Structure 1
């Protein structure tokens, strides 16, 4: 009973903290206590630690197509900033690492919605915008972002690493 209460409390706390960074959070899908973030450096052909480590959350996001969407029963209009991404925001999922080393967290929007990607490609041809990819190599879950940046999420526990990989794969290949 205590373990169940503790897990529920931790999940609710992670949801509230995540909402303070991304108010479009719809539901918390997965969380783990510790990971490290690396970025692949093409010049040195090596992984560079981004000075980012801490708890990781993967969550589903609400996407509003217009300001006058009908609100769900338990939803309220929180008067979000008009400059905030709305209909152009095609990231249905988010990955967020609460950095314990520096005041800057790591976040990554996750989507392979072809209409969203085509819109982004049409906006600015100078910046490459592509489909995301995910792979599992050793202790790293490797994610290639829409902007062709390659990140490695180091997760010590193999079950947690496999769970994160499976979730990201299902989101990206959906």
Structure 2
């Protein structure tokens, strides 16, 4: 069984998290049945953008990276304190450990910024939120990332994307990397995409 850790910072975007839950879940039920998803946050209760609360499976302190095959990270809003958790040293260390072991890391929108801050994208290609005069892309560049102005960028084991419109495709790319292209296409068809 391939296990995905969904790493949630307070202020995460529900839509961006939900695509990972749905694609990995659909695969577990109707695909090749080889994937499961587990949630992780700094505390057991994590507050999303727009104040929806969820209870996670484990906290940063409890996570064992060796138990997972991939890391998925949704972006979030500064207005809901996303960067307080996303730039937390434990959050960044989880990212570093997944990268050190060559495991897949899939991020959506501004979730690329903690990847940049952690150092795993230094000297590599990536992208992030592309609206509002490219402010977030400049921040990513300041972390030493070669920012590519396209919807999805894959550099070795890391997937980054530029806004919520890319979310489903990032989740499908993660599934393809965990299984194979044929299985991903079968799940995509079942989901109506």
Query: What is the TM-score with the length of structure 1 in the denominator?
Result: 0.32
The structure with the largest alpha-carbon Rg is 1
Larger relative strand fraction: 1
